Amino acid sequence: MAFAYTGIDLPIRPKTISSHQRSWEIIASPGRWWNGAERIEIARVGRAARDFEAVGSEILSAAAVFAIQKLVVDNANLNHEWYEEIIAADGMSEDRYVELVAVTVHALSIDEFHRALGLELEPLPDPAPGEPSQQRPPEAEQRRSWPPIVPRTGLHPADAMLYGPLEWGANVISALSLIPENVRWLHDLSEGHYLSFAEMRMPDPLRSISRPQIELIAARVSVLNECFY
Amino acid sequence: MLRYCDAAVRRSADLEARRNAVLNELGEAATIDAAATIANYQRMVRIADGTGIPLDAFTMKSSEPWRDRLGINSFRSRGNTFS
């Protein structure tokens, strides 16, 4: 079982552990545009991204590797022109880029949790069999972000609760929705690392640190990353 | 806690010392929650920067009085909102 945390005497919340385990299952499974082996390779390259000499891939294209490195190491300097170049490269597309971003940042988040606590990184999973479905949601629309998104209105009935029960959602929630499963993944790991939809509207105490402390940390991480959003 | 956050994001050599300071002052559960929040936002900033989403309208308005004073308007990713 991944993320057993055996021999570690720390009160890690069960929801945190289950969201890590689910993330590893998601990464190992075929997505819409990358198969399991490719998705695990995306996570591996992301994990090695700061070690420039070692990064390279026999599975992913140079453009994919470069995109992962930029996302991990130089995210403050991404811009629309760079995005257009990446999605136009061989083996890339808007859809494949969105899936690559999702795998990269969710794997990174779990690794960052481990690094912050001084824990060993979890070995990456073995790939599950199967091929990508290659299905783009027909309701996807181009809005103000670089890739198209699936908007809150006009959702497919199967995705009716994609954005949860709230009337309004921040742009970051729908940013990776060109692959709707990403939105569910975003929520799941958010609940493991931060707060659930419901908790966002509940008063303290929610965690062992207060909501103002949580949001101050969030702001600090954003500033250190020079993230305007 | 903010020093712990800085050390974790920057992967600086004092990370263990900063973590131990939080552990000693606030305890294990608080340290884990701080680490989880750091991890969450290391993800969220990259989603925002990697997809070029603009600032949400209500944040745009509410942050107007202090964004420039805090230097936020000089971040390169402001172009995703003001282009």
For B70, other C-beta atoms within 10 Å of its C-beta total 11
A65 touches chain B (CB under 8 A): no
Residue of A nearest to B41 (CA): A218
Residue numbers in B near A106 (CB within 8 A): 43
ipTM rounded to 2 decimals: 0.97
Nearest to A52 by CA among A38, A35, A37, A73: A73
CA distances from B12 to A18, A62, A220, B16, B17 (A): 29, 29, 16, 9, 10
Give the pLDDT of residue A179: 96
Least confident residue range of A70-74, A155-159, B31-35, B66-70? A155-159
Tens digits of residue pLDDT in B21-30: 999 999 999 9
Cβ–Cβ pairs < 8 A, chains A and B = 205
Nearest to A89 by CA among A60, A62, A109: A62
Residues 14-73 of B with CB under 8 A from A: 15-16, 19, 26-56, 70, 72-73
* Beta carbons of A118 and B15 less than 8 Å apart: yes
CA distances from B67 to A216, A229, B41, B50, B59 (A): 16, 11, 19, 21, 10
pTM (2 decimals)? 0.96
Select the residue from B22, B51, B64, B67 to test the A interface by mutation, using most A Cβ atoms within 10 A.
B51
Contact yes or no for B4/B21 (Cβ under 8 A):
yes
Chunked mean pLDDT (size 10), chain A, 229 residues: 92 98 98 98 95 82 96 97 98 98 98 98 98 96 96 82 77 95 96 94 95 98 97
Select the residue from B9, B40, B69, B73 to test the A interface by mutation, using most A Cβ atoms within 10 A.
B40
Chain-centroid distance of CA A86 in Å reads 18
CA distances from B70 to A155, B10, B35, B44, B65 (A): 39, 20, 25, 20, 10
For A119, other C-beta atoms within 10 Å of its C-beta total 15
Give the pLDDT of residue B11: 96
Helix ranges (DSSP H) in chain A: 14-28, 36-47, 62-73, 80-88, 94-117, 171-174, 181-193, 197-200, 211-224
